[in-house]
Structure 1
Amino acid sequence: MKNKKGFTLIELLVAVAIISGLGTVLAQAFFTTTRSNTKVERLTDVKQNGEYALALIERMVRNARTITATCTQDGSVSTPSAAVVAPDGGETTIGCVLDGTVTRIASQSSSGTEYFTSNAVTLGGDSCDADSLVFYCTSIAEVPKGLKVTFQLSQKGTPVDQFEKASTTFQTSISLRSQ
């Protein structure tokens, strides 16, 4: 009897095919997981910025003495910014501010500008005219007692793959505490 040592060509081809198939599946799983993690991180950053901005806007409006905004009788007119008069009498305008090339939510008062969002996210557009921040009056004309705030935040820049784009819409309604 002959003693066979080694493998036949067919056995080697089958082994190589199985190993390469497993390698391809593992590589795809790795890259899919990496892409998903990147998207989750970006989306988390966008959500944190949006929730923080909403909380600051809500606190400022709720504690304000009055809201000065252009409102119609039915509250159908939207405005890109809203001014609130604080209990101490100081007026603060909340709206979009162009910071370099990034449109950000900020408040502007006599003491300066306070940004509510980081420069890693944007309201969209190249200018504040094209941004997504809108205030709606939720009461009668000339005496606004509340605002509805809507905006969309996106990550800054354009990702190579549309799958990686992180964007979220935020919305809330706020009533004055003092009225």
Structure 2
Amino acid sequence: MNKHGFTLIELLVAAGVISFVSVIITQVLFSSIHLNTKTEVIKELKQTGEMTMGMISRLIQNATTITTTQCNLSSDDPKQPVSSVEITGLDGGITTIECVDDAIAGVSRIASMSASRIDPLYITNSNVTLIDNSGVSGCVNQPLQFTCVGVGGIPSSLSVSFRLRQKNLAATSYESAMEIFQTTISVRNSTNE
């Protein structure tokens, strides 16, 4: 007797192999989508942080006066970080760089405050938030830190550090990202007060 069909076992094995291959292909596709999402989040954080650090650097480098409580200490005292710095620009305008809680956007942002503006000029965008060392968003625990580096109360440079995280707290741990930004900025024109 000549049969031209498939047995039940052959059909089950074929269906199992096709299902297994489909699951593997689906997993690869989802993994690549997650990887692209994570890459985009990290890219945005790095771009925002680098742009922010560049703006802060230019403001500090071109300042004629830098005022913080720690820069006024004698060289024997340890320099503790402070959460804001007041600078006087070449045009004579006074600007304070500090962390500001933006209630409308629901994030903590780096902003420059000056007497000529009523509202703060935000340096970081509303898609990221400043976080402290424990990962909590908010300005209470100094997520933005300035430390004077100098001798005898005259700063030769100012160390700046901050941490950024994307705003979306509902993101999975795989998609969440945090970046630390830190640099030391040489002071060019400062007569420090």
Task: Decide which of 91, 94, 98 is 2:97's aligned counterpart.
Answer: 94
Superposed CA RMSD: 1.6
Distance (whole Å) between structure 2 residues aligned to residue 147 and residue 29 of structure 1: 47
Task: Decide which of 140, 160, 163 is 1:152's aligned counterpart.
Answer: 163
Residues 157-176 of structure 1 deviation map (CA, whole Å, 9 limit, x = unaligned): 32342111111000010011
Amino-acid identity (%): 42
Does the CA-based 8 Å contact 1:146-1:175 persist in structure 2? yes
Matches within 5 A, 1:4-15: 4-15=3-14
- C-alpha displacement of 1:31: 0.9
Does the CA-based 8 Å contact 1:70-1:142 persist in structure 2? no
Give the corresponding residue for 1:79.
82
Give the corresponding residue for 1:108.
113
Residues 42-92 of structure 1 deviation map (CA, whole Å, 9 limit, x = unaligned): 111111110110000000000111211112325521100111111121111
Residues 111-136 of structure 1 deviation map (CA, whole Å, 9 limit, x = unaligned): 22211111110002453113421001
The question of 1:136 aligning with 2:162 is answered no
* Segments of 4+ moved more than 6 angstroms: none
Give the corresponding residue for 1:168.
179
> Structure 1 residues 25, 56: closer, same or farther in 2, change over 3 A?
same
Length-normalised TM-score, structure 1: 0.92
Q: Which ranges of structure 2 fall in alignment gaps of 5 or more residues?
A: none
Distance (whole Å) between structure 2 residues aligned to residue 104 and residue 41 of structure 1: 20
Length-normalised TM-score, structure 2: 0.86
Does the CA-based 8 Å contact 1:123-1:132 persist in structure 2? yes
> Structure 1 residues 157, 172: closer, same or farther in 2, change over 3 A?
same
Give the corresponding residue for 1:70.
69
Distance (whole Å) between structure 1 residues aligned to residue 57 and residue 78 of structure 2: 19
